[in-house]
A and B are shown apart, each in its own frame.
Chain A
Amino acid sequence: MKAIFRLEWRAALARRRLLVWNLIVPLLLLAPVALSPAAAPHRAAVYAVLFVFFGTFGSAIPLIRDSRNGWNEKLLLTGYGARRWLYERLRAGTSIDLVQLIPSVALIGVAAGSNTGSIGALLLALALALVFANILGTVVAALVRSLAEGALGCTVVALFGLHFAGAFRTAQVGTWAEAVQRASPFRPLVESTRSVAATGSPPSGEVWLWPAATALVVLILVVLVGPRIARRLSGAEF
């Protein structure tokens, strides 16, 4: 059964106004940067921050809203398994975010005159980053008690996540920070945005392996503790 995945998509498509805003706002934010003469690393950092914010906030805020209005509890009371619910919600959130960000990725690529290989790599890196950002947003939503706390929490985890992925400063070789950077699921996004902004070649295969493995492990861990997260997100003591 993929009922929750389909329901999330159905709800997203029914909220047409929000869907349009989610397409337009990233474009409006990125266009001045993409079309500016700013240095490529600076442009790349802005792209990465916006994409990761989009994923963390896009995951946490609806979950907090649904937690507070009782919708999560209502869904879980139908006997739909907590792990399956969480997994499908993450999948749906990631795919919806990705679709909404495709025009922004196209804009960045076209503005920089990048080749299709770089743009394709950026889309792939964005997908991976959105998986991780949605997981972070879900964990934040489970730990906070209000939308305001959720917004603060998302800001902190997104910026820290990007910092440790080397978005703002590359870690020194041989340090623990470099090991974290190498394994961060945000790293391919950071590398890809730099590649696209500087019209360089897409990141090599080495950049992808550890981040993908980290994202997979974190996803499995989160789904395994799904019932605990679902309990927090539903307000129920299941």
Chain B
Amino acid sequence: MSVAFVVTGLSYRYHRAQRLALDGVEIAAESGCVLGLLGPNGCGKTTLIRLLAGTLRPSRGSVLLFPDEAPQSSDDRRRRVAVCFDRVPLLGPLPGREHAVWLTTLRGVGRDEAAGRVDRWLSTFGLSERANDAAETYSLGMRRKLALTESFAASPDLLLLDEPLGGLDAEGKGALLASLRAERDRGAAAVIAVHDPELAAAACDTVVLMDAGRVLTSGEPTALIGALGLETTFDVTLASPSAEGLARVGIALPEGVRSLGAAEDGLRLASPRGAVALPETAAAIVAAGGEIRAIHVREPNLDDVFVSLTGRTMRATPSVPA
């Protein structure tokens, strides 16, 4: 595997800003890898994407794209990188398909080849039926799909996606995840900035957890979660008897499973063995005379990793105060 990029001691300060938007970031990614940047608003994900895209220059440190290869001109390098930013600029009343074809041809791809690629990706993202409508009439989600079409049609070696899920429907999200896997299998590297822990875990080979412009930790999602030894929780809603009543009777919980407390209509239990302990646990509750209405299983996720490192959830206030 060749190295897609290496970021060393990267810092960036916006004009007139008091704080560094990025502070000493060190990351690298190989080709054929989906790397997720995960963190709350203002943690530096977009800044890092922009530095990788070359639209910002580092205040300190360096960004090296394709460092194993012979040096290229900045234009040649840019042709190998596709960027999908949060906002989707459009050129007036051109149809969506034509829009994407033009942008692909600007990369030096022949018009027929570009049209073929664009049609393929429009179909993947479910935009074929509206492909010939003026792009300026598209909804937010459709504009996002068009931007993703443009990015994927470039067939890049490095794909940079900044919050690509904004406005996407379930079909679009599914298509994006599948497309990321396909690009990874093709040998492309992808960097995706997200603030949804579940999505990061599902889509990324490696996750970089960020806060206040710094990298907190990085690694495979399952390894990051597993390293903390976090437990799966079962929120059990009871039809009868009350949780206190059931607690008085006493439940012979399976090995390792423990009670975290009783609420008015249910119990909260913790399992270090994950969801595999659920059938035994449910059986134990029923055996103790409990009638179960519902059980909500919550697996530990990357937000728990973030909480363990920062003391607060990613959905809390921005990490960099205004």
Instruction: Report which A residues bind B (CB closer than 8 A).
Output: 1, 3-4, 7, 10-11, 14-15, 66, 69-71, 73-81, 234-238
A70-B94 in contact (CB<8A):
no
A70 CB contact (under 8 Å) in B54, B89, B107, B108: B89
Q: With CB as the reference atom, state the residue of chain B lying closest to A15.
A: B92
Q: With CB as the reference atom, state the residue of chain B lying closest to A16.
A: B93
How many whole Å from B63's CB to the nearest CB in chain A? Answer: 12
Q: With CB as the reference atom, state the residue of chain A lying closest to B81.
A: A77
Give the residues from 74 to 117 in chain B that come closer than 8 angstroms, CB to CB, to chain A. Answer: 74-81, 83, 85, 87, 89-94, 98, 102-103, 105-108
B94-A14 in contact (CB<8A):
yes
B74-A10 in contact (CB<8A):
no
Given A11-B92, A15-B92, A73 contacting B75 (CB threshold 8 A): no
B76-A79 in contact (CB<8A):
yes
Q: Given the complex, which residues of A lie within 8 Å of B78, measured CB to CB?
A: 76-79
How many whole Å from B295's CB to the nearest CB in chain A? Answer: 47
A-B contact pairs, 12 of them (CB 8 A): A7-B91, A11-B94, A14-B93, A69-B87, A69-B89, A71-B91, A77-B81, A77-B83, A78-B107, A235-B55, A236-B55, A238-B54
Q: With CB as the reference atom, state the residue of chain A lying closest to B76.
A: A79
Q: Given the complex, which residues of A lie within 8 Å of B53, measured CB to CB?
A: 77
Is B57 at the interface (CB under 8 A from chain A)? yes
A80 CB contact (under 8 Å) in B75, B77, B85, B91: B75
Of all A-B residue pairs in the complex, the 6 with the closest CB atoms, nearest first, are A79-B79, A79-B78, A236-B55, A70-B89, A78-B106, A71-B89
Task: Give the number of residue pairs across the A-B interface with Cβ within 8 Å.
Answer: 71
A237-B55 in contact (CB<8A):
yes
Q: With CB as the reference atom, state the residue of chain B lying closest to A84.
A: B75
Q: Given the complex, which residues of B lie within 8 Å of A71, measured CB to CB?
A: 89-91
A7-B102 in contact (CB<8A):
yes
Q: Given the complex, which residues of A lie within 8 Å of B79, measured CB to CB?
A: 78-79
Is B56 at the interface (CB under 8 A from chain A)? yes
Q: With CB as the reference atom, state the residue of chain A lying closest to B91.
A: A11
Q: Given the complex, which residues of A lie within 8 Å of B55, measured CB to CB?
A: 73, 77, 234-238
Please, how many angstroms separate the alpha-carbon atoms of A77 and B76 in the complex? 10
A78 CB contact (under 8 Å) in B74, B93, B103: B103
Please, how many angstroms separate the alpha-carbon atoms of A71 and B108 in the complex? 18
Given A3-B106, A238-B54, A74 contacting B89 (CB threshold 8 A): yes
A79-B91 in contact (CB<8A):
no
Q: Given the complex, which residues of A lie within 8 Å of B74, measured CB to CB?
A: 238
1/0 per residue, CB under 8 A from A, across B42-60: the answer is 0000000000011111000
Q: With CB as the reference atom, state the residue of chain A lying closest to B58.
A: A237
Q: Given the complex, which residues of B lie within 8 Å of A80, measured CB to CB?
A: 75, 106-107
Q: Given the complex, which residues of A lie within 8 Å of B107, measured CB to CB?
A: 78-80
Please, how many angstroms separate the alpha-carbon atoms of A80 and B102 in the complex? 12
Q: Given the complex, which residues of B lie within 8 Å of A81, measured CB to CB?
A: 75
A237 CB contact (under 8 Å) in B57, B77, B106, B154: B57
How many whole Å from B170's CB to the nearest CB in chain A? Answer: 27
Q: With CB as the reference atom, state the residue of chain A lying closest to B98.
A: A10
How many whole Å from B100's CB to the nearest CB in chain A? Answer: 12
Q: Given the complex, which residues of B lie within 8 Å of A3, measured CB to CB?
A: 102, 105-106
